[in-house]
A = this chain, B = another copy of it.
Amino acid sequence: MEIRHLLYFKTVAEQLHFRNAAAKLFISQPPLSRQIKELEEELGVLLFSRSNKRVTLTDAGKYFKVEVDAIFARLEESKNIVKQIHLNESGEFKIGYISSVYQTYLAEVLKLMHKEFPYIKTSLYEVPTITQIDALEQGKLDVGILRAPVHSEKLQQQSLFFDPFVVVVPSTTKNFNTQQDLVLFIKSSPFIFFNKEFAPYYNDKLMEICGRMGFKPDITHEANNVHSILQLIEAGLGVSILPSSIKRQYHYLQVSFIELDQIPVNTEVVLAYKQTNKSTALKWFIENYKSQSFND
């Protein structure tokens, strides 16, 4: 018995006319007659009653028609779902991240992900927080690593870690004996910082930190990513205040990262994703990214 037999049976059962059913199946009538006969012989059951060349279903045939319909329905549904599962795990998985994210670690996680989903294609987009939020909402990104707060009802978020701030100064700068000396130095230095429109919450944090230190920062240079900022500092064009988590990634630069004691201002890094995204790949990423987090 093959699916062909079941389909032929189903069609004859619906038409109750061999020649009409054959036309519907795009075959000629004799093979249809034979295939039905073979099915009946294999089952050892008469499915149709032929009397005076008219065809009716036997009780066995009536029952079998219902069963065949149910089996076909389930097979079609299974095919659809199996395709969805496949696409879910073999399509493109787009990750947004802010420039301060430790990419070596992200790469490690993606390595594990490819082991789990060999056919997936991951794409990385270094995108500022506010741009990520729009892209996530529009489904252009599957997941984002960005800074809180994420004000969006469409997005779900999961805290990764809290990131305090450090003062970043050129390495040629002399060591400061006291925090007060440090404050005096950066107060009189030009500031290099993120573009306010790209990272408004960063900007707010900067104002808060400097406010606590009793001055307003003189932002003379703007950039839209952290390595540009650091390069300018290294070149001696100014100072900045940046999240502590970048230290590990940019330890090779000729800059100094100075902890800011006693200023309890930090920023939260989160994963964000669209609530309606039920992708298995996304689920894996959410469950596995944080558990491998270096927030220790």
Residues of A participating in the B interface, judged by any CB pair closer than 8 Å: 1-4, 43-47, 49, 51, 58-60, 63-64, 67-68, 70-71, 74-75, 78-79, 81-83, 85-86, 89-90, 118-119, 280
B-side contacts of A47, CB under 8 Å = 82
Chain B residues within 8 Å of A1, by CB: 3
Query: Which residues from B are CB-within-8-Å of A43?
Result: 79, 82-83, 86
Query: Nearest-CB distance from A48 to chain B (Å)?
Result: 12
Residues of B within 8 A of A67 (CB): 74-75, 78, 81-82
Q: Which residues of B contact A86 (CB under 8 A)?
A: 43-46, 58, 60
Q: Give, as a whole number of angstroms, the nearest-CB distance from A153 to chain B.
A: 31
Given contacts A43-B83, A49-B118, A70-B74, 9 further A-B contacts (CB under 8 A): A43-B82, A43-B86, A46-B86, A46-B90, A58-B119, A60-B82, A60-B85, A63-B82, A67-B74
Residues B74 and A89 in contact, CB atoms below 8 Å apart: no
With A74-B71, A89-B58: A45-B280 Cβ-Cβ less than 8 Å: no
Residues of B within 8 A of A70 (CB): 74
By the criterion CB–CB under 8 Å, are B82 and A75 in contact? no
Return chain B residues, CB-CB under 8 Å to A64: 78, 82
